[in-house]
Amino acid sequence: MLVFDIWGDYGHFRKFFTTSSPLTFSFPPPATIAGILGAICGFGKDEYLKLFSFEICKIGLKIASPVKKVRMGVNLINTKDFNWQPIQTEYHEPRTQIRTEFLKDPHFRIYVSHEDSRIFKMLEENLREHKSVYSPSLGLSELLANFNYLGVIEVEELKDLFAEISTPIVAGNLIDSGIVIETGKKYFKEKMPVRMNPDRVIEIYDDVIYEPGGQTIKARVKTCFRIIENGQYITFF
């Protein structure tokens, strides 16, 4: 399994149900992470969802720094009638300001397993050499990201286990809603797309439970993976 960190000044992963005031997920959905992997390897928009699909690629994420959100006004240029008029008139505003929510100082640890050794090796080499074909970003092209290669680790798959999970947990992976609530921790739930096919059609939405400070969650899960090196338990989307 391949591991790397990615971070930036700001991030925005738009929630599917927001319109006039865009809100952001607290971390990137799996399809967005696949886009980041595609950018690093040089796969286009018509390729990466197929090459990093759920059937052949497993993706996990750890919140590496506490989730912080801010809201800022974003100026959108008025391009109605395919013409930008940079001055205000009686019937025309040159721009529209939209209140938008952003993640502040987002930092995530990404875990990737791939059945295609050629793609896995390509991704590993680019991460190790700190190079990418396209510039990786955190949701929007203006929100550029940096990344750091951490290495290839060995894991073992475990079934029906009660453990302290270091990653967000998809509700469908829980056994009998088996989460232990502990003092000093916060528990949040967000519904997000966890399966998107190559035609960009969402196949599965599910609730994802996470601790916004990046702390572990005690839970009984159907499937998880133990990192041999440090004994941590993680799950995939």
Mean pLDDT on 141-166: 96
Task: For CA atoms 169, 172, 174, 179, give the dihedral sign.
Answer: positive
pLDDT band at 176, cuts 50/70/90?
A: confident
> What pLDDT sits at residue 119?
96
Mean residue pLDDT of the chain comes to 92
What gap in Å lies between CA 235 and CA 237, rounded to an integer? 7
> What pLDDT sits at residue 209?
97
Q: What is the pLDDT of residues 11-41, one digit of tens each?
A: 999 998 876 779 999 999 999 999 999 999 9
Percent of the chain surpassing pLDDT 70: 92
Domain segments of the chain: what residues? 2-234
Q: What is the pLDDT of residues 36-68, one digit of tens each?
A: 999 999 998 889 999 999 999 999 999 999 999
Percent of the chain surpassing pLDDT 90: 81
Quick check: 215 and 155 in contact, CB under 8 A? Answer: no
Given this structure, which CATH class describes domain 2-234? alpha beta
**Buried b / exposed e along 67-79 (16+ C-beta atoms within 10 A):** beeeeeebeeebe
Quick check: 186 and 147 in contact, CB under 8 A? Answer: no
Q: In the sheet that 188-196 helps form, which strands lie side by side, from edge to edge?
A: 169-170, 202-210, 188-196
pLDDT band at 92, cuts 50/70/90?
A: low
Phi/psi at 80 (5° precision): -60, 145
What gap in Å lies between CA 156 and CA 224, rounded to an integer? 8
> What pLDDT sits at residue 85?
66
Tell whether the model's pLDDT for residue 106 goes beyond 80.
yes
Phi/psi at 128 (5° precision): -65, -40
Q: What is the pLDDT of residues 72-89, one digit of tens each?
A: 998 887 766 666 666 666
> What pLDDT sits at residue 199?
87
What gap in Å lies between CA 213 and CA 189, rounded to an integer? 14
pLDDT band at 200, cuts 50/70/90?
A: confident
Directed axis angle between helix 30-41 and helix 117-128, to 10°? 70
> What pLDDT sits at residue 80?
66
> What pLDDT sits at residue 21?
79
> What pLDDT sits at residue 117?
95
Quick check: 196 and 49 in contact, CB under 8 A? Answer: yes
Tell whether the model's pLDDT for residue 98 goes beyond 80.
yes
Mean pLDDT on 215-237: 96
Tokens of 137: 């970003």
